[in-house]
Amino acid sequence: MSIRPLFIASIGNPPPTYTNTLHSAGHTVLNYVRNWLLTPQFEKSHFYASGLLSASPEYTLWQSPSLMNISGRPVSIAWRTFLSTLSTPEAKRAARLVVVHDELELAIGKIKVREGKGMSAKGHNGLKSVLGALPGMEFTRIGVGIGRCASRESRDVAAYVMRKMTSDEVEIMEDVAGQVSEVVREMERGVR
């Protein structure tokens, strides 16, 4: 069985200021995914747009170093760098980009997997930035539910997504990482 090269990128706001905020749920989950997939500690990599990198023979995990709303360019640079490390044209064709991000319209503890190209960002500015930097490219998104505040006012929504997670919410994200890891394993095996 051949293994599909996967580049799993999380978008969110950079640590330490934004560590474990709801808007950076993608980063929080990817930290736990690293444990599930047994990849090395994250280290800053200048080659990968100065993001945090954890690479093993099976998986390459990467955290965007930029603010959420301008994450497209670093994702694009890191993806192209990842492709340049693959030794065969077949591996490059088989490689998949997976973007892990927060999902406001999904209950906390839930994930939503979307695959394809030409998908709408549905108002998510980080995804708009990624789609703009990789126009027409097919990739997989894994939305991590953070729930929604009761108000629809932009100021209230901004305050909600920028708040730190409670300890219970961080535990939920650890459980979510197990779900995300299973999706990633299925992708690697070509099941998904």
Whether residue 23 lies in the annotated active site: yes
CA 122 to mean position of chain CA atoms: 16
Active-site residue identified among 23, 27, 101, 124: 23
Q: What is the rounded distance in angstroms from the CA atom of residue 120 to the CA atom of residue 162?
A: 23
Q: What is the DSSP string of 51-106?
A: EEEEE-SSEEEEE--S-GGG-HHHHHHHHHHHHHH--SHHHHHH-EEEEEEEETTS
Instruction: Residue count of the chain, please give it.
Output: 192
Tokens 């077949």 locate to: 90
Q: Tokens for 103? A: 């999902």
CB 178 within 8 A of CB 36: yes
* Pairing of β 139-145 and β 59-63: unpaired
Q: What is the rounded distance in angstroms from the CA atom of residue 187 to the CA atom of residue 16?
A: 31
Cα Rg of the chain, angstroms: 16
- DSSP lists the bridge partners of residue 114 as 141
Q: Which residues are catalytic?
A: 23
